[in-house]
Each structure stands twice: as structure tokens, then as C-alpha cells.
A = this chain, B = another copy of it.
């Protein structure tokens, strides 16, 4: 018996749930959990978690669905539940990276870390302890394009489903973003869209906020503007300096990134324009 995830996205139509569940029923699939959502602009999203005894013919299911639904505009994916491959990027801060690596080491993460890439060497000794390849790609004296060209030589060595920017403090070129379109998850150290850009905790301190936050989002070619997956907040007060806010914020950042990563690894996140639907 194996578990599968069927995901659908596309224009809504009457009877979609009925037609899909009919196919699953007639193919003796056992639905464990099913969630649907129809957006105000009439897009249909569905995630079905089902089990199947014996060997499932994906072609048969997809063929039956195609016959029964026949909406060309629908995006459909059907995959056996399995660990995803992820590649991690970091700079000097350890908290997000170590959180992911610790969970990976203890088998808590539904993913395999293929490598860590960084523009600094500082986190290499930590990563080495866990036997994960660490690639230091020095950015000194290189243009942004030249540095990314060096990075691509590394990423070309690996196959991965998602790239996690675990506090990778480099601005990405559109070339980079497009090369890994829809694959990049970033943690931004503010409650977006507040404090876009550099030094958000300094900005937050100057503004005198009473709550700080962090935002995990997909990266598109607009800085800090991609679809938000998860956010978290924490109360602060006048006693918190910008440095204190940064320190407190790191706890929020790592938990928000982990929460977002879990959702993505469980195939629960759909991108819908600049928003996400989480089923």
C-alpha cells in the first residue's frame, strides 16, 4: 500500500469534485484527506491524499481524469508521497540553516539535503559535522553575474526540487530567479510588506513597532515581492534595540521558514498569482 498526492488547479466548473472523486472511487483509491478551494476569480484548487493497494497506474488515473473532466486548462499532478531533494543557500547566519539541518539529521524533515551553497566559509565547520557537501563560492571581486555563474556550476551538479534561501544575503539577478522559477523559498526578516529591503530590524526599531515578524515566500523577480507562504510575529517593546529585535526575530524566522518548508514539502502549497493557496 502506498500513499499518493493528486493536485489540481485550473478554472472552476460544476461537478469537478464529483468527477474527480468518481475516478478515484472507480479506480479503488482510498481517499484519506481531500481539500478544495475555489477562489473569488473562479480558480479551482484541489489536493487529494489517497492510498492504493498494489501498483497504481498513474497513466490510467490521469487518463480517466482527462476523459471525465476534459478541461485542457487544468494543471494536474499525481505523485507518490516521497522525500524531496532540497539545496540550501546561506551566508553567515546559522539559525535557519541549523534548524533545517538538525531536523534533517534526526529524520524529521520530509526532504533530503543535497548540498549547502554559501558566499562565506563561516558555516562550513558546522555543516561538515553532518556530512553534507558545503560549497563556498567566493563573491569577492566578482560582479553579481560572475558570482552567479560560479554558483550555477555548483547547482548544475545536483538535482533538487526546491532551493531554500536560509538567510542568503545576496540580491538575485532575474537570470538566477528565472533559472529556478517556482523553486526558490526565501525567509525575509520582516513582516512583509513592512520593511522591504535592507536592515528591516533597523527600520522596525526606527519606526517604533511593538511587534516584529518574518515572512517565508517564493521568490520572483521582484525583490521581497513573491507569493507569501507563511508569516509569524513576536511582541517587542521599547527596551528592544535594533540588535535585540534582530536576535528575537531570528527565533521567528527559523520557525516560519520551517513551517513554510513543511507545507511545501507536503505538496500543500499552490501559487495563485501573487498569493498562495495552502490546502
Cα distance A37–B49 when bound, in Å?
Answer: 12
Interface SS of chain A: helix, strand, loop or mixed? Answer: mixed
Q: Mark A63-97, 1 if CB is under 8 A from B, else 0.
A: 00000000000000000000000000000001100
What's the minimum C-beta distance from A65 to chain B, rounded to whole angstroms?
13
- A239 within 8 A of partner (CB): yes
Known A-B contacts A30-B14, A31-B17; A208 and B228 likewise in contact (beta carbons under 8 Å): yes
Measured CB to CB, the nearest residue on chain B to A209 is B228
Residues of B close to A193: CB separation below 8 A: 194-195, 207, 209
Question: Count the A residues whose beta carbon is within 8 Å of the partner chain — how many?
Answer: 63
Query: Which residues of A237-264 are within 8 A (CB) of B?
Result: 237-239, 241, 251, 255, 258
Cα distance A276–B238 when bound, in Å?
Answer: 7
Cα distance A206–B207 when bound, in Å?
Answer: 24
Known A-B contacts A98-B106, A208-B274, A233-B233; A34 and B17 likewise in contact (beta carbons under 8 Å): yes
Count of identical protomers in the assembly: 4
What's the minimum C-beta distance from A178 to chain B, rounded to whole angstroms?
21
What's the minimum C-beta distance from A40 to chain B, rounded to whole angstroms?
6
Query: Which residues of A11-59 are within 8 A (CB) of B?
Result: 14-15, 17-18, 21-22, 24-25, 28, 30-40
Contact B207 A228 (CB under 8 A): yes
Q: Mark A88-114, 1 if CB is under 8 A from B, else 0.
A: 000000110011001001100000000
Known A-B contacts A18-B18, A21-B17, A276-B238; A231 and B210 likewise in contact (beta carbons under 8 Å): yes
Contact A192 B194 (CB under 8 A): yes
Cα distance A156–B121 when bound, in Å?
Answer: 40
Residues of B close to A34: CB separation below 8 A: 17, 36
Interface residue ranges, A against B (CB under 8 Å): 14-15, 17-18, 21-22, 24-25, 28, 30-40, 94-95, 98-99, 102, 105-106, 126, 129-130, 191-195, 206-211, 213, 227-233, 237-239, 241, 251, 255, 258, 272-278
